[in-house]
Amino acid sequence: MNGKEKRIIALDYSSQEEALALVGVLGEEAAYYKVGMELFYSSGGDIVRHLKADGKKVFLDLKLHDIPNTAAKGLGALTRLGADMLNVHASGGLEMMRRAGEVVAEEALRCGMQAPVVLAVTVLTSIGGDEWARLGQVEPVNKAVLRLAQLTQEAGLQGVVASPQEAAAIRQACGKDFAIVTPGIRPAGVSVDDQQRVATPASALAAGASHLVIGRPVTKAEDPLAALRRLAAEMEGA
């Protein structure tokens, strides 16, 4: 995996036109993009197909969470769009994750395509200790994330979405081939916005993250291309 594939640019826009405008600005500097709920719900599968036709990789970040049959069939349908990564919520349980992974593999084989990586979201990076307690949780966030990561691996999925603050413990517990996709990436001196459990690109990579999801530090920058190049330099320095 080259350096460009380690950084995933979050297309957190409400229209396909806005998203593709940024893709045009970043050009060859960006190879991997995240399509989340806002963009997918407004543009549907068209945005995924457009990015794939342009030679980009796509993380379709819809965080499915439902009963095993519903989540699995939903992920199977999304597989046909050709995204490189899909995800579910680990809190949906072992059987939901296991079934989702099986259906994705079956659908990819049926369509004659490479199966996407299936990840499980552990605990959202916007949730800090106080909010975690308000949800009635007694177990510390970092321990809950590690437990969910190990459950994800037991279910046969290929990795997790977790904050960079838990990456080192996950890497140690789950091994070198387990994908750890980390949102909450903020270069030094940049606002953390609504994120709680954050880290710089260099520290996230040092902790064991395999991919960094980068949104507002690039997409809201006055010069997105220059911001991405600075971030890429920091990653390469790590």
* Helix residue ranges, H only, 112-166: 129-134, 141-154
Nearest to 219 by CA among 3, 4, 6, 14: 14
User: Is 63 assigned a catalytic role?
Assistant: yes
Range of the domain at 29: 3-237
Q: Which residues of the chain are modeled with pLDDT < 70?
A: 1, 187-198, 237-238
CATH of the domain at 61: 3.20.20.70
CA distance linking residue 222 with residue 208, whole number of Å: 30
User: Encoding tokens for residue 150?
Assistant: 């190990």
Sign of the CA dihedral running 95, 101, 35, 166:
positive
Residue type for 188, please?
Answer: A
Contact indicator for 170, 100 with CB cutoff of 8 Å: no
Q: What count of other Cβ atoms lies within 10 Å of the Cβ of residue 19?
A: 24
Q: Name, in order, each residue with C-beta under 8 angstroms of 94's C-beta and a sequence gap of 6 or more.
A: 151, 154, 155
Given this model, what pLDDT does residue 184 score? 78
Do 135 and 108 meet the contact criterion of CB atoms below 8 Å apart? no
Structure tokens at 188: 């030094």
The 3-state DSSP class for residue 87 equals: strand
State the Cα–Cα distance between residues 80 and 198, nearest whole angstrom: 33
pLDDT tens by residue, 4-31 = 899 999 999 999 999 999 999 999 999 9
**In this structure, what token pair is assigned to residue 16?**
């396909």
Burial readout 109-145 (b: 16 or more C-beta within 10 A, e: otherwise): eeeeeebbbbbbbbbbbebeeeebeeeeeeeebbebb
pLDDT of residue 192: 47
**Looking at the 3D structure of the chain, how many domains does it have?**
1
Which residues in 173-206 are b (16+ Cβ under 10 Å) and which e? ebeeebbbbbbbbbeeebeeeebbbbbbbbbbbe
pLDDT at 161: 97
pLDDT of residue 234: 83
Is 182 strand, coil or helix? Answer: strand
Rounded Cα gap, residues 31 and 9, in angstroms: 9
Give the active site residue among 4, 52, 56, 63.
Answer: 63
* Torsion sign, CA atoms 36, 41, 46, 47: negative
Which pLDDT does position 125 carry in this prediction? Answer: 85
